[in-house]
A and B are shown apart, each in its own frame.
Chain A
């Protein structure tokens, strides 16, 4: 990501230097991220937790807040929430509680949201981003999502409650960030962890992960100033754009003749790339938090926490390091293979079964991942391919033994990704088995030597490389099935220069 140029400012590192005043400003940024948990059902009722169903089709008496209904905690949600906490090295509270956040809005059926206020289930933890900066988390808490208000269909506001009651975790960082790049890197890393651990699909386009930015600016060495919250950013690029807009806006406000920035909530306008006031601090509701009397305190026993820890997969950062150190993979390959958990799992299985991690890595990154974005293949995820890790291991074995040469192996692999047939079966079916029979090979080689005295002389003169053109003739004659290793040996023997 490149640093944007803003008129009136020079940038040195993370400092913004006002050209008019010469003042050096530092931004202070914290992020709040909502992520929907990947449960089958909602947080407090049995309705399906699913995106894209027809409006209000995934609702019941509980999540529409019918009088007399009561919430019952979905234990799967707690499991996933705890896994998220453990994945970032946070502490899980043995006891926490649910509170009610009271406010009036039409997409909150009870007019209160069940959330965790002063006793969240998780505190601490951190994520280190590629720049080397460690972003500390203050807390993570569980809460239910609100429904969705649709304002752009005719005169009236329509409400879809399919999302009402979907389980969320809200993670809140300390104000450890000072630039948009690291903010973006933090969000990518968090997203990767959430997806990897199976905690959330974290698809920002579907609203499965949403971000609020808290941001202020202050002159270097001076105390922090009033912060502004930018709400509901639905992509990482919008987070970056909102920060890049908000920093100079706040500096200009502090330096200008107009009013100083006030504590407020702002909305980001993605089309204009600007932020505008949504409500001031005074306009904020008093949420009247209090413990929800319908839900007993939440307990997480040490045994339960350990169970969740055991269910955690190895995280991408750790995997990348291991692939490089133990398997000799390049940083690039390790990055490609760990970007998605299913790919990494596939790779590890194929590497273990074949005993050839590098070959497995090459096949996956050069052929298989490419096929997933190719319309010729139906699969979009590696798990959807009919080709399984042991199939790839078989293929690697056949190449290893010399049964199959590389171009033949590519052909076989492509067929395997379509039909799911075994490699050995396809080699025969496609007639790709290398000819190993010495008599046949010798006949082809002898034929190739006819009329090529010049080349033969070159080889005899020590230019063994020249044998390549002879090999090409043999391969042509054999329709590519001759084992190149053997052909070379035979040619050299016939010419009379053994290596």
Chain B
């Protein structure tokens, strides 16, 4: 990629390239930050990727980095690179409102481990991104604030719940960003926006400082416009954290970075029968089939496989995730932090009034569902059974990976849908996670890559999802890199103008 029509301004570059050119003295970190802030000021009113920018803080940090370089400090792998953070990530002093009225004005009193690691690597947090409230949603429409727009068609959803982080990278409001993926919240918006999103193996990245939704599923996940950036960002944020007892006792991830691109000879790619057919848009399956054929042309072998319990994944997910959420969100009661509504003056009255006013409909729906499935007398039938089905889903993958190296299929069953299209039908919204939820329940790494474009006017991005065994991120990235090197989909960018709308 090269600096584009902006006449030499440091925009449109990948994070690694940008970092190298800053270190080489081609731009200063301050110039880069200023350029991105200017671009965001110009475009955000039509895209709504960012809910807040702390320009002073970003500029101050960029200046410090420039000085550090002058002082001879070794620049980190993300030196001077602007990064956008989802609004459920703690950066001390920044508003971490999770897209909810409940936490409107809440400023994190500490910095998340993965954010601290990004800072350590030299990244410049440039903005907090819009998201579905408490990461519950697949379109961004559940934000209590603004709903991000798909940069390929502003009338369409950018996906969710990490909507703003995806839009930011797709529209080059930042070279890279972080989202969180619980049931597809990074992969699905990556697919909808035509960029890369990688949900790591559960435990790869510390959750300390990520506001919890479904604790046994949540993973901080990077967005990028190229594979190289994706893997560097994962390298930076991953690795054991003593503050998170569920983080794996492993060193930080290290990508393979083969000197020359490998063909995929010998690679067996499983294509699940259950990820085809009913519910899958033809335009999506056409693009995915073409992408799979391309992988085959690179030497991979496509193997039809079965993941027999796939159809139970969505119901299982909506029991497990909502149960955990109902407990995780219990703390928002108006007493310690966030907003408060006094109600009838009693303690329980204050809790109730605060929660009625502070949470949106989807969050309330999931809290009710989660509370129900954990209730005495229903626990075994719902939560207990869901845990057993989760084990079956995990076994589906284990037995599949005995005969294939990775699994590929569509990331989302549809093209980006129109805003408003699914808001009145929660179930059809839930089904947009059909293909992403199984890997979440199994804790497996999964990557969505830009596979091409489908539909008529305008053509919309389609994502291909690669799912691997636990800790196989390097393999997923290698395959994505081979695909990237031999196709041009990832390089296509939406054309945007300040006036609003795609040109």
Chain B CB within 8 A of A65 CB = yes
> Which stretch (B226-234, B259-267, B321-329) binds chain A?
B321-329
Q: Are B245 and A288 in contact (CB under 8 A)?
A: no
Nearest residue (CB) in A for B352 is: A104
Q: Are A68 and B245 in contact (CB under 8 A)?
A: no
Chain B CB within 8 A of A478 CB = no
Q: By CB atoms of chain B within 10 A, which of A105, A111, A286 has the most?
A: A111
Interface mask (B13-33 → A, CB under 8 Å = 1, otherwise 0): 000000000000000000000
30 residue pairs of the A-B complex, CB under 8 angstroms, read A61-B110, A67-B90, A67-B108, A67-B211, A68-B108, A68-B209, A68-B212, A69-B110, A70-B245, A70-B246, A71-B245, A72-B243, A104-B330, A104-B333, A104-B351, A109-B331, A109-B336, A110-B330, A112-B327, A157-B347, A288-B326, A288-B375, A288-B376, A288-B379, A290-B374, A290-B379, A290-B383, A293-B216, A295-B246, A296-B245
**How far, in whole Å, are A105 and B335 apart by their CA atoms in the complex?**
9
Chain B CB within 8 A of A64 CB = yes
Given contacts A67-B88, A102-B326, 16 further A-B pairs with CB under 8 A are: A65-B336, A66-B108, A67-B98, A68-B211, A71-B245, A72-B242, A72-B244, A73-B245, A100-B327, A104-B330, A104-B333, A110-B331, A111-B331, A157-B347, A288-B327, A294-B212
Interface mask (A47-70 → B, CB under 8 Å = 1, otherwise 0): 000000000000001001111111
Looking at the assembled complex, report how far the CB atom of A117 sits from the nearest CB atom of chain B, in whole angstroms: 11
Interface mask (A95-120 → B, CB under 8 Å = 1, otherwise 0): 00000101011100111100000000
**How far, in whole Å, are A157 and B345 apart by their CA atoms in the complex?**
12
| Residues from 434 to 457 in A contacting B, C-beta threshold 8 Å | none
| Residues from 66 to 112 in B contacting A, C-beta threshold 8 Å | 88-90, 96, 98, 103, 106, 108-110, 112
Q: By CB atoms of chain B within 10 A, which of A65, A70, A100 has the most?
A: A70
Of all A-B residue pairs in the complex, the 6 with the closest CB atoms, nearest first, are: A111-B330, A288-B374, A293-B215, A293-B216, A67-B211, A106-B335
**How far, in whole Å, are A325 and B108 apart by their CA atoms in the complex?**
64
Taking CB atoms, residues of chain A closer than 8 Å to B209 are 68-69
Write the residues of chain B forming the contact surface with A, with a CB cutoff of 8 angstroms: 88-90, 96, 98, 103, 106, 108-110, 112, 207-212, 214-216, 242-246, 323-324, 326-327, 330-331, 333, 335-337, 347-348, 351, 371, 374-376, 379, 383
**How far, in whole Å, are A69 and B211 apart by their CA atoms in the complex?**
8
Looking at the assembled complex, report how far the CB atom of A155 sits from the nearest CB atom of chain B, in whole angstroms: 10
Looking at the assembled complex, report how far the CB atom of B390 sits from the nearest CB atom of chain A, in whole angstroms: 12
Q: By CB atoms of chain A within 10 A, which of B209, B323, B331, B347 has the most?
A: B331
Q: Out of A67, A102, A105, A111, name the residue touching B374 (CB < 8 Å).
A: A102
Taking CB atoms, residues of chain A closer than 8 Å to B330 are 102, 104, 110-112
**How far, in whole Å, are A69 and B336 apart by their CA atoms in the complex?**
14
If over half of A's interface residues share one DSSP class (helix, strand or loop), that class is named, otherwise mixed; here it is loop
**How far, in whole Å, are A296 and B246 apart by their CA atoms in the complex?**
7
Q: Are B109 and A66 in contact (CB under 8 A)?
A: yes
Taking CB atoms, residues of chain B closer than 8 Å to A296 are 245-246
Looking at the assembled complex, report how far the CB atom of B467 sits from the nearest CB atom of chain A, in whole angstroms: 22
Nearest residue (CB) in B for A100 is: B327
Q: Out of A68, A100, A290, name the residue touching B210 (CB < 8 Å).
A: A68
Chain B CB within 8 A of A312 CB = no
Nearest residue (CB) in B for A102 is: B327
Chain B CB within 8 A of A492 CB = no
Chain B CB within 8 A of A379 CB = no
Chain B CB within 8 A of A159 CB = yes
Q: Are A68 and B112 in contact (CB under 8 A)?
A: yes
Q: Out of A67, A73, A159, name the residue touching B106 (CB < 8 Å).
A: A67
**How far, in whole Å, are A290 and B209 apart by their CA atoms in the complex?**
23
Nearest residue (CB) in A for B324 is: A293
**How far, in whole Å, are A294 and B337 apart by their CA atoms in the complex?**
21
Taking CB atoms, residues of chain A closer than 8 Å to B88 are 67-68
**How far, in whole Å, are A289 and B330 apart by their CA atoms in the complex?**
13
Q: Are B333 and A111 in contact (CB under 8 A)?
A: yes
Taking CB atoms, residues of chain B closer than 8 Å to A102 are 326-327, 330, 374
Taking CB atoms, residues of chain B closer than 8 Å to A66 are 108-110, 337
Taking CB atoms, residues of chain B closer than 8 Å to A294 are 212, 215, 245-246
Taking CB atoms, residues of chain A closer than 8 Å to B244 are 70, 72
Taking CB atoms, residues of chain B closer than 8 Å to A288 are 326-327, 371, 374-376, 379
**How far, in whole Å, are A106 and B330 apart by their CA atoms in the complex?**
11
**How far, in whole Å, are A290 and B106 apart by their CA atoms in the complex?**
28
Nearest residue (CB) in B for A101 is: B327
Instruction: Report if A70-B208 is in contact (Cβ < 8 Å); known contacts: A61-B110, A106-B335, A109-B336.
Output: yes
**How far, in whole Å, are A65 and B98 apart by their CA atoms in the complex?**
16
Q: Out of A105, A110, A289, A295, name the residue touching B245 (CB < 8 Å).
A: A295
**How far, in whole Å, are A223 and B58 apart by their CA atoms in the complex?**
73
Taking CB atoms, residues of chain B closer than 8 Å to A289 are 374, 379
Q: Are B96 and A67 in contact (CB under 8 A)?
A: yes
Taking CB atoms, residues of chain B closer than 8 Å to A67 are 88, 90, 96, 98, 103, 106, 108, 211-212, 331, 337
Interface mask (A354-378 → B, CB under 8 Å = 1, otherwise 0): 0000000000000000000000000
**How far, in whole Å, are A100 and B212 apart by their CA atoms in the complex?**
15
**How far, in whole Å, are A288 and B112 apart by their CA atoms in the complex?**
29
Q: Out of A61, A72, A159, A286, name the residue touching B109 (CB < 8 Å).
A: A61
Looking at the assembled complex, report how far the CB atom of B224 sits from the nearest CB atom of chain A, in whole angstroms: 23
**How far, in whole Å, are A345 and B243 apart by their CA atoms in the complex?**
39
Taking CB atoms, residues of chain A closer than 8 Å to B374 are 102, 288-290
Q: Are A68 and B90 in contact (CB under 8 A)?
A: yes
Taking CB atoms, residues of chain A closer than 8 Å to B348 are 104
Taking CB atoms, residues of chain A closer than 8 Å to B324 are 293
Nearest residue (CB) in B for A111 is: B330
Taking CB atoms, residues of chain A closer than 8 Å to B331 are 65, 67, 109-111
Nearest residue (CB) in B for A45 is: B243
Looking at the assembled complex, report how far the CB atom of B152 sits from the nearest CB atom of chain A, in whole angstroms: 32
Nearest residue (CB) in B for A287 is: B376
Taking CB atoms, residues of chain A closer than 8 Å to B337 are 66-67
Interface mask (A151-184 → B, CB under 8 Å = 1, otherwise 0): 0000001010000000000000000000000000
Looking at the assembled complex, report how far the CB atom of B374 sits from the nearest CB atom of chain A, in whole angstroms: 4
Taking CB atoms, residues of chain A closer than 8 Å to B96 are 67-68
Looking at the assembled complex, report how far the CB atom of A256 sits from the nearest CB atom of chain B, in whole angstroms: 33
Q: Are A70 and B375 in contact (CB under 8 A)?
A: no
Taking CB atoms, residues of chain A closer than 8 Å to B89 are 68
Looking at the assembled complex, report how far the CB atom of A61 sits from the nearest CB atom of chain B, in whole angstroms: 5
Looking at the assembled complex, report how far the CB atom of B220 sits from the nearest CB atom of chain A, in whole angstroms: 11
Looking at the assembled complex, report how far the CB atom of A104 sits from the nearest CB atom of chain B, in whole angstroms: 5
Looking at the assembled complex, report how far the CB atom of A407 sits from the nearest CB atom of chain B, in whole angstroms: 62
Interface mask (A290-308 → B, CB under 8 Å = 1, otherwise 0): 1001111000000000000
| Residues from 68 to 82 in A contacting B, C-beta threshold 8 Å | 68-73
Taking CB atoms, residues of chain A closer than 8 Å to B245 are 70-73, 294-296
Looking at the assembled complex, report how far the CB atom of B228 sits from the nearest CB atom of chain A, in whole angstroms: 29
Nearest residue (CB) in B for A106 is: B335
**How far, in whole Å, are A468 and B260 apart by their CA atoms in the complex?**
112
